[in-house]
């Protein structure tokens, strides 16, 4: 069955938010490593979380410069994070990503 671009984009956003919120991948390099997606796709996905009203913020590491730190999910908005957590493996499989750690 073919999955639409709209659905894969939605699933990708949910999955990235899940990885960040669970502390599994809280930087662009970590997201790339966990999913295999290109760096630019990871960056675009992070920027697009706001379109779902998921509030994701970058926390600068204390004493660091040059955007060294991590992303954190401050608010899931209308999304139920427990649903995403229960379906994370299915989301990863649908997107062709390795299973969640």
pLDDT in tens, the chain (101 residues): 688 999 999 999 999 999 999 999 999 999 999 999 999 999 999 999 999 999 999 988 776 666 778 999 999 999 999 999 999 999 999 999 998 87
| Token pair belonging to 45 | 């996905």
Domain limits, the chain? 5-95
What CATH number should be reported for the domain whose range is 5-95?
Answer: 1.10.10.10
pTM: 0.92
3 state SS for the chain: CCCCHHHHHHHHHHHHHHHHHCCCCCCHHHHHHHHCCCHHHHHHHHHHHHHHCCEEEEEECCCCCCCCEEEEEEECCCCCHHHHHHCHHHHHHHHCCCCCC
């Amino acid at each position: 069955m073919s999955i639409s671009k709209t659905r894969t984009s939605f699933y990708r956003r949910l999955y990235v938010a899940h990885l960040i919120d669970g502390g599994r991948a809280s930087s662009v390099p970590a997201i790339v490593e966990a999913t295999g997606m290109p760096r630019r796709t990871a960056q675009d996905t992070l920027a697009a979380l706001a379109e779902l009203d998921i509030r994701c913020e970058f926390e600068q590491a204390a004493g660091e410069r040059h955007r060294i730190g991590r992303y954190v999910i401050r608010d899931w908005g209308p999304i139920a994070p427990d649903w995403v957590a229960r379906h994370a493996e299915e989301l990863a499989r649908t997107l062709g990503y390795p299973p969640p750690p």
